[in-house]
Structure 1
Amino acid sequence: MLRASLLLAVAVSGLAPGSADSRPRDREQDAAFRATQDGSFVPLRQIEARIVPQMRGFTYLGPELDPSAGRYRLKFMRGPQVVWIDVDARTGQVLGKSGF
């Protein structure tokens, strides 16, 4: 009985809402990869190498990509303060900052 319950729990856990949440992120990563490969976007690592050191005192939480807008949004945090840096993925130029 215990074994059957464990098998059922494992089978049902694959249907948890968290598994569906990764799909948009996967599409985002695929779009970024394709655009970087064809030269449309500046590689994210290049952008991070330039922006992250300028944000001394902040913890870098990671990027988001809006492929249709061609924009990366880099997220930083210091204490309760959250800051976003919007960067043009095509040129690598900073478009704006919010949260300061």
Structure 2
Amino acid sequence: MTIPEAPAAAFDRDSALAAAKQDNGRDQDRAYDATKSGKSMPLPMIERRVVPQMGGAQYLGPEFRGSIYRLKFLRNGRVIWVDVDASTGRVVRRSGN
């Protein structure tokens, strides 16, 4: 008895999920290094400043992009991205309002 091969799309999805987890790990490492060196505020401090300003939108989590934290929110089925300067905590851009 032979086991049928999984469709190629399944491997692509699995590869994409693995890559996303790896990128998230790199984001965490970069954020930690930036905070430790004093180039970035700690994420919890930034979240305490921004989340209350989002008027009840569901907070989905952060991404770290060098000098910017990108916080993802969901409101009424729409995604809202809030870019925050990591060193100052100042909101520099919002999209998807």
Shared topology, TM-score over 0.5? Answer: yes
Secondary structure of the residue aligned to 2:62 is strand
Aligned partner (choices 74, 94, 99) of residue 96 of structure 2: 99
Q: Aligned residues: percent identity?
A: 48
1:37 is matched with 36
1:77 is matched with 74
Say whether the 8 Å CA contact 2:49–2:89 is kept in structure 1. Answer: no
1:8 is matched with none
Change (3 A) 1:20 1:84: closer
**Post-superposition CA distance 1:33-63 (Å, at most 9, x none):** 0110111101110000011011122100111
- In structure 1, how many angstroms separate the alpha carbons of the residues matched to 2:21 and 2:90? 28
Q: Match for 1:22: what amino acid? A: K
Give the TM-score normalised by structure 1: 0.77
Q: How many residues align?
A: 86
2:21 is matched with 22
- Deviation of 1:66 after TM superposition, in Å, equals 0.7
**Post-superposition CA distance 1:55-98 (Å, at most 9, x none):** 1221001111111xx10111111121211111001111110111
Q: Which structure would you say has the larger Rg?
A: 1
Structure 1: gaps of 5 or more residues: 6-15
Structure 2: gaps of 5 or more residues: 4-13
Aligned partner (choices 83, 87, 90) of residue 84 of structure 2: 87
Give the TM-score normalised by structure 2: 0.79
Of 21-30 and 40-49, the range deviating more from structure 2: 21-30
